[in-house]
Amino acid sequence: MRYVMKQKMFALGDDFRIKDENDDDRFFVDGRAFSIGKKLSFQDMSGNELAFIRQRLLAWGPTYEISKGGEVVATVKKKHFTLFRCKFSVDVPGPDDLEAQGSFIDYDYKLTRGHAVAAEVSKRWFTLRDTYGVEIADGEDEVLILASTVVIDMVCHDDSAH
């Protein structure tokens, strides 16, 4: 499934609207503007919270937890000490971790699980600022992938997140 992500330009928090490939609104990410550390609620269009993203403040480097139903389902962390390219890990319980690698500044990267591509993120098809596509492989957790993409966007494109 392909999604289009667009960050709201004039919002107080980090807000994202996510549309499907048919241009239908599917998800909304509501950033909490006046909180200590970044906190975002990942919601369906009826306002039901599907996931919650919280910045871990006392971590070495940018680190975020993604929770569903109050349980942490992933930790997204920017890897340090990588040669030539930036990388992110998406640590999930068990052996199915994801790794994001590519050009994050240009919105052109892949999330892989082992050697399989779980999702591709690209701005190639868009000219608008902070608008990009996310193509998710069949069988992948769409909310987890999209929430991880929101975290990577915040870390790479928001000076206050560093």
DSSP class per residue in 29-86: EEE-TTSSS-EEEEEETTS-EEEEEEE-TTSSSSEEEEEETTEEEEEEEEPPS-SSS-
pLDDT computed for residue 10 by the predictor: 43
pLDDT digits (tens, 9 = 90+) for 5-49: 876 544 445 678 899 989 899 999 988 765 667 899 999 999 999
Percentage above 90 pLDDT, the chain: 47
Pairing assessment for the beta strands 2-7 and 87-91 based on DSSP bridges: unpaired
pLDDT digits (tens, 9 = 90+) for 50-61: 999 999 887 677
Asked whether residue 161 carries a pLDDT value surpassing 70, the answer given is: no
> How many domains is the chain built from?
1
The per-residue b/e assignment along 130-160, b for 16 or more CB within 10 angstroms, e otherwise, is: ebbbbebeeebbbbbbbbbbbbbbbbbeeee
Domain that holds residue 19: 2-161
Q: Residue 19: helix, strand or coil by DSSP?
A: strand
Q: From residue 83, give the alpha-carbon distance in Å to each of 4, 33, 61, 87.
A: 30, 34, 17, 10
Cβ atoms of residues 30 and 41 within 8 Å: yes
What's the CATH number where 113 sits? 2.40.160.200
